[in-house]
Copies of this chain bind each other. A is one copy, B any other.
Amino acid sequence: MIETRTLSLAEIEDLSFRALVAAGTSEENARPLAVATAATEADGVASHGLAYIPIYCEHVQCGKVDGLAQPVLAQPRPGVVTVDAATGFAHSAIEAGFDALIPAARAQGIAALAIRNSYNCGVLGYHTYRLAQAGLVGLGFTNAPASIAPSGGAKPVVGTNPFSIAAPGTDGQPALLIDQSASTIAKSEVMKHAREGRPIPVGWALDEEGNPTTDPNVGLKGSMAPSGGYKGVGIALLTEVLAAALTGATLGIHASPFSGTVGGPPKTGQFFIAIDANATANDAFSTGIVDLVEAIRSQEGAHLPGDGRRAKRLAAKSDGVAVNVATLNKIEALLT
Does any Cβ of B come within 8 Å of A150's Cβ? yes
Residue A281 contacts which of B248, B251, B283, B285 (CB distance < 8 angstroms)?
A: B248
A180 and B237 CA atoms in complex are apart in Å by: 12
Contact A153 B112 (CB under 8 A): no
A247 to chain B, nearest CB (A): 6
If A80-B109, A80-B280, A228-B228 touch, does A153 touch B296 (CB 8 Å cutoff)? yes
If A137-B246, A301-B152 touch, does A241 touch B80 (CB 8 Å cutoff)? no
Interface SS majority for chain A: mixed
Which residues of the partner chain B approach A244 to less than 8 Å between Cβ atoms? 288, 292
Does any Cβ of B come within 8 Å of A12's Cβ? no
A223 and B303 CA atoms in complex are apart in Å by: 17
If A246-B275, A275-B112, A285-B248 touch, does A178 touch B79 (CB 8 Å cutoff)? no
| 18 A–B pairs (Cβ distance < 8 Å), ordered by A | A77-B108, A80-B108, A80-B279, A82-B280, A108-B108, A112-B275, A152-B302, A153-B300, A227-B228, A227-B229, A233-B305, A235-B235, A241-B289, A245-B281, A246-B277, A251-B291, A251-B292, A271-B280
Could you tell me which A residues sit within 8 Å of B by CB distance? 76-80, 82, 107-112, 114, 116, 137, 149-155, 157-158, 163, 165, 167, 176, 178, 180, 184, 227-235, 237-238, 240-242, 244-248, 251, 253-254, 271, 273, 275-277, 279-285, 288-289, 291-292, 295-296, 299-305
